[in-house]
């Protein structure tokens, strides 16, 4: 788990984007996102959360989230600006979830008060064998599978599936408890449920179910959250809208950034 600060090259940023990257994000994808956030004249704090296995270690997530929030506070010590949280795929559990838990505490009130918007791209994930654990077996999400010889990939995939089944069986009550806490923390008990929210997704997503996204949007809407959903119906699938449909992706993100006063320079 690590962070990288990427300031806007054209002068002082008017806002700060905290970008929770998806697992095993390709460099060219990240560069496209960073360029997009910079076009809104924002600085960027890129947060990389390691591998899908991190989703099973909530304590590590809390430690990383605390470090991220601390860095945000330090970056804005002399010049506070609006903050937007941009969350992708599995980082909804490894980073965003623990951040919401920390932001409930008054000690983080200065950071919380500057968060004006949030973007969810191909998330939130579930993390049970029927959905979220697919992150362990999709080659574009798992660096171990990417590096494995072709003949070994079926064996590794089978082993990961067995691991998923074992977790569901042996830790059923803990996973159920964690799942309930997770959903409450990112919806009904979230300290961010009053900020403007954009959720982008595709019905062709093979990792996160369409129904999961719609459940999240409906739940937030029912709580009075100013949430907007944007469905991509073209060729994009999981976290690749910015590559497959860049024009529509920019348009969707512009609606969020414009609504909080961060209009693009383009």
pLDDT tens track for 103-112: 999 999 999 9
> Per the domain annotation, does 35 fall within a domain?
yes
Per residue in 248-257, pLDDT (tens digit) is 999 999 999 9
> Which residue reads 């060219």 in tokens?
28
> Per the domain annotation, does 177 fall within a domain?
no
Task: Describe the strand order of the beta sheet including 83-88 as a list of residue ranges.
Answer: 2-6, 42-48, 15-20, 83-88, 115-121, 196-201, 227-231
Mean pLDDT of 127-138: 52
Residue-number span of the structural domain to which 118 is assigned: 2-135+183-259
What is the C-alpha separation between 81 and 110, in angstroms, rounded?
Answer: 11
> Per the domain annotation, does 17 fall within a domain?
yes
pLDDT, position 139: 44
The reply to whether omega before 124 is within 30° of 0 (cis) is yes
149 vs 215, residue with greater confidence: 215
> Per the domain annotation, does 149 fall within a domain?
no
**For residue 210, what are its two tokens?**
């369409």
Mapping DSSP to helix (H, G, I), strand (E, B) and coil, where does residue 29 land? Answer: helix
> Per the domain annotation, does 141 fall within a domain?
no
What is the C-alpha separation between 125 and 105, in angstroms, rounded?
Answer: 24
> Per the domain annotation, does 68 fall within a domain?
yes
User: Domain of 215: which CATH number?
Assistant: 3.40.50.1820
> Per the domain annotation, does 264 fall within a domain?
no
> Per the domain annotation, does 161 fall within a domain?
no
Residue 13 near residue 81 (C-beta atoms within 8 A): yes
Over 70: is that where the pLDDT of 41 sits? yes
**For residue 202, what are its two tokens?**
């595709």
Over 90: is that where the pLDDT of 52 sits? no
Indicate the number of domains in the chain: 1
């Amino acid at each position: 788990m690590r962070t990288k600060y990427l300031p806007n090259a054209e002068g002082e940023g008017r806002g700060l984007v905290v970008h929770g990257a998806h697992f095993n994000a390709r460099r060219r994808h990240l560069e496209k996102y960073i360029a997009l956030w910079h076009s809104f004249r924002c600085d960027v704090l890129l947060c990389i959360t390691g591998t899908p296995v991190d989703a099973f270690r909530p304590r590590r997530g809390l430690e990383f989230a605390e470090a991220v929030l601390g860095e945000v506070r330090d970056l804005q010590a002399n010049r506070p600006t609006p903050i937007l949280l941009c969350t992708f795929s599995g980082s909804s559990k490894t980073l965003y979830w623990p951040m919401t838990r920390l932001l409930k505490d008054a000690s983080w009130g200065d950071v919380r008060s500057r968060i004006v918007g949030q973007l969810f791209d191909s998330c939130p994930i579930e993390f049970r064998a029927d959905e979220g654990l697919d992150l362990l077996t999709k080659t574009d999400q798992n660096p171990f599978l990417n590096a494995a010889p072709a003949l070994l990939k079926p064996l590794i995939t089978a082993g990961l599936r067995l691991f998923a089944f074992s977790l569901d069986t042996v830790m059923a009550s803990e996973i159920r408890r964690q799942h309930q806490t997770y959903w409450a923390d990112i919806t009904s008990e979230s300290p961010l449920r009053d900020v403007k929210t954009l959720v982008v997704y595709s019905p062709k997503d093979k990792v996160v179910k369409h129904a999961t996204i719609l459940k999240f949007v409906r739940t937030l809407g029912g709580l009075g959250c100013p949430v907007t959903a944007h469905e991509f119906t073209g060729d994009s699938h999981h976290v690749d809208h910015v590559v497959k449909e860049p024009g529509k992706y920019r348009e969707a993100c512009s609606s969020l950034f414009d609504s909080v006063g961060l209009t693009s320079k383009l």
